[in-house]
Structure formats: structure tokens, C-alpha cells
Amino acid sequence: MSTTPIAQGPVDVNVGQLRVWLEQQGFCFGNNQVRGQMNDCDWYAWRRSTLSARDCDCNGPKMQIVLTPHSYELDGKRWESVAADVTGECAGVWYKLQAYSMTPTELVARLDEVEGALIRAWNSLMPNAELTGRGKES
């Protein structure tokens, strides 16, 4: 996987270049140990969202966005995509809200938009609950 810097403007970004760009955007990285046979990419990225989000029942005000790239070769062609998710517990139920099948190029162009949409979806869960605490009052 190439780590050549990303040029300005619409270009094809591969997952190697994506990792470099994400690091510049403040993301941290972990080893994707559950990637499976159809994913040559052994990392995932995360950062705490700066957007206003309801607390997670379990983790409190630590909402983060997680990016999981996928890269594999099939019939001599390289296929790459990225999934973005926010995961948390609300009113006793765990939710994983996800945008997926984006190309690395599309993610670079739309990361702010995708993160905003996922956080808005998270905030809309249990609309009668307070945004700053548990969904159920004890």
C-alpha cells in the first residue's frame, strides 16, 4: 500500500494514503485483529468527536468516530472501501450507527459530513430522553 502524500483536489486515495491523512486529522490507530480473510488492511482509526453528542450510558461523554478500511484483491483488481461508525449505549440498548462502502477518496472529501450525520443520528435516539444523560430515569 502506497503512502504517497495526497494531492489537492479529486484524486484516487488508497488506504495507505488515507492512514497518513487521518493521522494529520488527529486520529489514533489500532490493530484490526478481526479483519477476516477478505481484508488486507490490518488497522482501524478513531478519534473523539468534537461535535455535541448525547452521553453514552456506559462510557459517558466519550463519543468517538471509528473508521475501518477494507482492502483486498479479487481477480487481479484491488478493491478498497471504508466504514465509519459511532457506537454507544442508549436506554440500555447498544447501537452501532454506520456509513459504509465509501471509497477512501470519498471519505477524505466527506468525513465532516459523514461524522455529522452519524452524530445527529446518535442524538436522535430516544428523542424523549435528555441529551446529557441516561435515557431512563431510575
Question: Does residue 4 lie in a domain region?
Answer: no
Question: Does residue 43 lie in a domain region?
Answer: yes
Cα separation values, 41 from 69, 131, 135, Å: 7, 36, 37
Q: What is the pTM assigned to this prediction? A: 0.82
HSE toward the beta carbon, residue 46, CA cutoff 13 A: 13
To the nearest 5 percent, what fractions of the chain are helix, strand and coil? 20, 35, 45
Question: Does residue 10 lie in a domain region?
Answer: no
Question: Does residue 132 lie in a domain region?
Answer: no
Q: Given a cut of 50, is residue 6 above it in pLDDT?
A: no
Give how many domains the chain has, as a whole number: 1
Cα separation values, 71 from 64, 100, 126, Å: 23, 13, 36
Residue 89 contacts residue 107 (beta carbons within 8 Å):
no
Read off the pLDDT of residues 18-67 as tens digits, 9 standing for 90 and up.
Answer: 999 999 999 999 998 877 778 889 999 999 999 999 999 998 988 999 99
Query: Which DSSP symbol is given to 58?
Result: T
Residue 124's identity, in one-letter code, is S
- The partner residues of 72 in beta bridges, in order of sequence, read 79
Which secondary-structure segment (H or E) carries 123? helix 104-124
Question: Does residue 5 lie in a domain region?
Answer: no
Question: Does residue 24 lie in a domain region?
Answer: yes
83 is in which domain, residue-wise?
15-71+79-124
